[in-house]
Structure 1
Amino acid sequence: MKPRHRRLALIGLIALALAAITALVLNAFQSNLVFFYSPTQVAANEAPKGRSFRLGGLVEPGSVQRQGVQVSFKVTDNLHQIPVRFEGVLPDLFKEGKGVVAQGQLGADGQFTAREVLAKHDENYMPPEAADALHQAEQARERAQRSMGAPK
């Protein structure tokens, strides 16, 4: 084999190895990517089926039920509510009416099974995604009320 052919073969092998490494890195990145959805988006079937995502909003007052380490509650954006089931120890700051982000999957029955629950860390903080979702839901509710109360 001529030196020129060896160099071309080596360059081809390096290019092939780089392409394989790039494909593996992108695949790993995409499988670990977790998106945020509000209860309104989940109710509108915008959330992925069979994939993990984050659900955020407020813990609906009066919805928390505990049975040992198993907890069920509803997450709301004041427009829609999504039932959540979690098994484990909740954060100390988890309270009704406060902001929460749960990561997990939506079941075929419409119940969200959380693997992780995050609560806000002080009185002034809410995850930006949850605050934005609540703001959008409030605007949608105001628009709906105006359209229903508008003279015909």
Structure 2
Amino acid sequence: MRRLDSTQFPVDEAVTAAGLVVLDTWMVVNYSTKYGEERLPPSAKTPSFIRLVVDVEMFCQTLWRPPTPDFDMSSLPNVEQLQSLSPEEQMARWEAAGVKREALQCRLLYASQINPGGWAPAAVVRTMARREYPHFLRRISEFVVGHTAEKALKF
């Protein structure tokens, strides 16, 4: 997982077309490898086991709706400078700048490619993905909301 900061990816306007301010951006990329495959036990190399090849990319942004359209963005804390503070101190700085949990949103882009190694027809894989993908998003959303609802904001 990697945090994409403004020094690596500078933007002129960190405001979306809908007027939301981009506070934070993270990206995760995972690719299957064949590392360690030679160490598998002989029982794992039988036809009853298959090795899936999975590539997953997830891009997340924390978005905030300012209290007023003419809000002074220079009053927002610098995320990089807050990293050394405790979560409680970070939360106090964000709240002092007007950033409240109720005004936050998350933009999540998720993409994956799964290759079952020829053991399942492509049509079956697509059908399963269409059915399971909404369940996955619902479960991960419920997990995140339940896990973070009572905790201080972290960026």
Q: TM-score range, shorter-chain basis?
A: under 0.3
Normalising to structure 2: TM-score of the pair? 0.25
CA radius of gyration, larger in: 1
Normalising to structure 1: TM-score of the pair? 0.26
